[in-house]
Structure formats: structure tokens, C-alpha cells
Amino acid sequence: MMIHCSLKPDDTAADQTASIQQAIDHVHEQGGGIVAIPPGRWTSGTVYLRSKVELHLERGAELRATAEEDLFPVLCATPYGNLPGVIRALVVADRVHDIAITGAGVLHGNGDSELWGDDVLKEENNFRPALLFMRDCRQILLRDIRLHYSAFWTCHLLRCEDVLIDAIDLRTHHRRINTDGIDPDGCRNVRIRGCTIDSTDDAICLKSTEGDVCEDIIVSDCVLTSRCCALKIGTEGVGTIRRVLMHHCLIRGSTMGVALYQKDGSTYEDISVVDCTMVCNDHFPVFIDVTPRDYRSPTVGRIRRVLLADLRVFGPGRCYLRGHPDSPLSQITMRGLRWLVSGPEEWATAQAPTGARRVNLDPERIDDAQKPYHLLITHAQDCRIQDVFIDEERSEGVGDRGAVWARSCQAVSVAVDHRLRSSPTGQWLAQVDCTDSSFNFVEREACDQSHALSHDT
């Protein structure tokens, strides 16, 4: 069945919520089908998808969120006290199945103006609806659609199953906060492929805000840009997050590439990032961390069985793998890593990222971020890092770092090939309190002379 919205497109921002909702409801009552939005601008408040309904935006169609707050009912509170405090959304799917949003048209969140601050916003800016909010749904398809300028998380999937997000274009305004791209939250069997995501906040962020297992997530063939992190796991990880694969993706112009933040006492396991290119500008394009959210009443989680393989990283930053004294990182494997260092680091300002504002860090915990080494490993066990090539040869002003800093490691094996433009300012390896570990290092000068060093503990 094909139904077109009956109202004529109107650029004067007239409310067309009712006509769109009536079309969706009618198709659902007839057993399912397609509601097509023809070319033109359609301004609306919240509309609800029903089971077995496909919302199809034709090329040239724009479904835009109205500025009328009364047309966006409150759905639930935002997790962890995030602003704006409540969740509203332009398109909502709640406990439905076999739904789709397709077409070459645009879902526009009306968040295409500047909004910036340290979570201290003017009262009138607390109304910031998401673009898509889907809760307890199954069999979801998002294909070809443009998801543009959400005022909050763009696509929040809460406890959804069997999701395919294919070839969408997602973008947010660069001067907005809390504008994540795609957030699978306690979801199962999610496929994100062939998408272009340019977001101010995290591009893809896996969560478990309510303790539900988040598992079997695949991200492939995507182009990701983020002012925060391209692929982030956590920080909200109350439940287990496992069996995640990201492969054959391009991360460009991002602050961080891949970050795992374990703060809420659960387990992250069987995470793989394979055959990806990352162009990142922050201190730590690759960051894995176990740090309780509140040190005064800590719930310590764990991260284990992580594979980082065949990665190409460009930027001035480094790699930081940091476990917890009570929960070391376990079975972290890195191989085939090629890191082209683009310039010197600012050691004095480096610090381990927290991943969220709502944390209370232990002031006594050691942060090794200012150690002048490329690969920082602390509180880790049974880890294998091999075939890692750090190339500083083409970078002006580099030679500012050694290769490996290791502290409180057990049964860790590291093999690094380091090409220098000039002699390093310090030693290639520093290790403290490491047992049953081996560190092998090949130093190559620009003239291709090389010598190998090794150190066992």
C-alpha cells in the first residue's frame, strides 16, 4: 500500500503533525505498507511509527522538527543526568516491529544553529529533541535517509534487536553539544554499514544505560568524523557490551578514533577493530581505560579480549592502554599497526580523557599521560602487541618520544619498530613493576641504519 501525505508542502512552518500521523496510523490499520512524503518541506512535531510501516521520504522531501515545544511529549529522562534532562524526538518508535525509514529525503532536527557551553545553557535552549528514538523495537531498517542537524542524540536505539542502518548520511552542527550520531543502547544484532557520519559528539557510541546487554554489533565500510570519538564504547556501560566488530572504516578529522571507557562495573569483551584508517588530532586516538565513575564508592569493571589489527593511524597523538589495579586489562592484542606521527606532542597538557563530565576521579590515581612515550601500557596482563611500526621520519620537530612506557604489567609481550627522524630525547623503553614480560624494539634512523634492543622482565 502506498499513501502520500495529503497536505500541500508549506514553507511557512505550518504544523503538519496530524496529517502525517494519520497516514501512518491508516497504513498500520490496513496491515502495513508505505507512507511516502513527497518533495517539499513538511514541519512536524513528534510522529510515531507503527508496526509494519515504512516511512519513505522522496528525494527533495524534508521532514523538519517544529520549534513548538508543546508538540514534543516527554518520553523519558536522559541517562546519567545528561542535559537537557528529558528525551523528546521527532520520530518515535516504541515497542513496535518491522519498521523502516527510507528514501533520499531529509529528516531535519532544526538544530542547525550555534549552541555551545559547558553544560550551562540558557533556559530557552533546554528544549532539544532528538531526531530518532526507538525503544524495545525489532526488525528496523534505516536506508539512504539523510539525518541532519539533530538538537540532541541523532539516532538513539534503546533495547532494539535486528537493526540494519545502511548508507545513511548523518551530520550535526559543529557548535552543538550532546549531538551523538548513532547510539545502540542495550541492543542486539545491529549492522551499521556504508554510512557517512559527521557529528559534533561521538559518531557511533555503544551504551548500556539501563543494564541491558549490548551485543553483536558490526560497523563496516563507514566514513566517520567526530569532534569527540568516532567509535566509543561507554562511558555508560551498566550492562555487558560484547561481540563488537568495526572493520574497513575511514575515520577522518576526528579528535579520537577508538575509545573504550569502562566506568560502571560491567564487562566489555570480544571487541575487534580491524583494517581501519584513522586521522586524529588529539593526544590519544586509541584509548582503552578502566576507571570507576566515582572513586569514593567504586564499582570496578573489566575489559578483555580486544583485538586492534591492521590499523593505519595519522596524527601527533599516541596510544594509551590503562587498566585498573584491581582489574587489569586482559588479552589485549595489537598487530599490524602503522602509525605515522605528524608532529610533536604537548606533554605538559596531556591527560587521560574522562569520556564524560559526570565522573569523580581518584585524585591519588597515577595518570601516565605525560610520560614521553608513544605506547603507554599500565595495569595489563596476558597482552600481545606485535608488528607495530611508529614512523616519525617525515615529521618536523619529532624525536620527542620513546617507544614504550609500561607499568604494573604481567605476561605482556611488545615488539615495536620505530623509525626516527632524529635521535630521541630520551630512552626507547621505560618499565616499572613488570613481570614475565618481554619488550623488543628496532630503532631505524632516517638513513635506514637500524639496531635491535630487547628487554625481558
What pLDDT score was predicted for residue 236?
A: 94
Q: Which residue type sits at 243?
A: R
Total domains present in the chain: 2
Written as nine digits, the cell of 198 is 559527521
Do 189 and 309 reside in the same domain of the chain? no
The boundaries of the domain holding residue 327 are: 236-457
The answer to whether the Cα torsion of 83, 84, 89, 94 is positive or negative is positive
| Lowest mean pLDDT across 114-118, 253-257, 268-272 | 114-118
Are the C-beta atoms of residues 270 and 245 closer than 8 Å to each other? no
Distance CA 404, CA 390 (A): 11
60 — pLDDT class (breaks 50, 70, 90)? very high
120 — pLDDT class (breaks 50, 70, 90)? very low
133-143-306 Cα angle (round to 5)? 75
What pLDDT score was predicted for residue 346?
A: 84
Average pLDDT over residues 12-31: 86
Do 241 and 384 reside in the same domain of the chain? yes
Do 18 and 139 reside in the same domain of the chain? yes
Place of cell 548508507: 167
User: Please, which residues bridge with residue 147 across strands?
Assistant: 107, 170
Do 406 and 330 reside in the same domain of the chain? yes
Are the C-beta atoms of residues 71 and 47 closer than 8 Å to each other? no
Q: Which of 175, 201, 227 is the last residue of a domain?
A: 201
Do 193 and 281 reside in the same domain of the chain? no
Average pLDDT over residues 256-269: 97
Residue at 292 is within a domain: yes
Output the DSSP codes for 283-311. Answer: S-SEEEEE--SBTTS----EEEEEEEEEE
| 324 class by beta-carbon count within 10 Å (0-12 exposed, 13-18 middle, 19+ buried) | buried
Written as nine digits, the cell of 426 is 630520551
Residue at 1 is within a domain: yes
341-383 per-position pLDDT tens digit: 988 888 888 999 998 878 898 998 999 999 999 999 999 999 9
What pLDDT score was predicted for residue 452?
A: 61
What pLDDT score was predicted for residue 135?
A: 98
DSSP 8-state assignment for residue 125: G
Average pLDDT over residues 96-100: 98
Do 257 and 193 reside in the same domain of the chain? no
Residue at 421 is within a domain: yes
Do 340 and 450 reside in the same domain of the chain? yes
178 — pLDDT class (breaks 50, 70, 90)? confident
DSSP 8-state assignment for residue 210: T
Q: Which residue type sits at 301?
A: G
87-184-198 Cα angle (round to 5)? 85
Residue at 223 is within a domain: no
Do 67 and 170 reside in the same domain of the chain? yes
More confident site: 392 or 118: 392
Q: What's the CATH number where 14 sits?
A: 2.160.20.10
| Per-chain mean pLDDT for the chain | 90
Task: State percent of the chain over pLDDT 70.
Answer: 89
What pLDDT score was predicted for residue 109?
A: 96
393-414 per-position pLDDT tens digit: 666 656 678 889 999 999 999 9
Do 190 and 253 reside in the same domain of the chain? no
What pLDDT score was predicted for residue 126?
A: 76
What pLDDT score was predicted for residue 421?
A: 61
Place of cell 579480549: 305
Do 293 and 194 reside in the same domain of the chain? no
User: Please, which residues bridge with residue 169 across strands?
Assistant: 146, 196
Average pLDDT over residues 262-272: 97
Residue at 219 is within a domain: no
Residue at 212 is within a domain: no
Element (H, E) at 21: helix 17-29
DSSP 8-state assignment for residue 246: E
The answer to whether the Cα torsion of 216, 180, 38, 50 is positive or negative is positive
User: Please, which residues bridge with residue 256 across strands?
Assistant: 229
Residue at 182 is within a domain: yes
What pLDDT score was predicted for residue 179?
A: 92
Do 183 and 295 reside in the same domain of the chain? no
Do 316 and 362 reside in the same domain of the chain? yes
What pLDDT score was predicted for residue 271?
A: 98
Residue at 420 is within a domain: yes
